[in-house]
Amino acid sequence: MTAEMAAALPAVVAVLALGLWAVAAVGMKVRAIDAANSAAIAAARGEDAQAVAAAYLPEGASVAVSTDGEVARARVTAPTRPLGPLTPPLSITAEAAAPLEPGLP
């Protein structure tokens, strides 16, 4: 039993690490989606979309806002390393749109 456990332990640790990596990546995706939604709504209201989205994002993330006719669009890109410097970098992106408020220039 001990030999089998010693042989299987690296595989168990690898699967656990992969699971934690995936959960951390999904968590960052949710944060990016929230930031994109908030930035699009803020841009549609005429507010500072960068400041609103910054509350959700880590250092190094970027927010691009554009208006297209009657719609404000926000695209968020957040670089992340879900389990620290030992894992490869990952770039998470999210997009959102919101209709412009009536009466804004």
Structural domain that includes position 62: 2-99
Largest Cα span, the chain:
74
Q: What is the pLDDT of residues 19-63, one digit of tens each?
A: 998 998 999 999 999 999 999 999 999 899 999 998 888 888 999
Identify whether 105 is part of a domain.
no
pLDDT of 105 reads 62
Quote the number of domains for the chain. 1
Identify whether 82 is part of a domain.
yes
pLDDT of 2 reads 80
Pick the closest to residue 75 from 48, 27, 37 (CA basis): 37
pLDDT at 88 over 90: no
Identify whether 92 is part of a domain.
yes
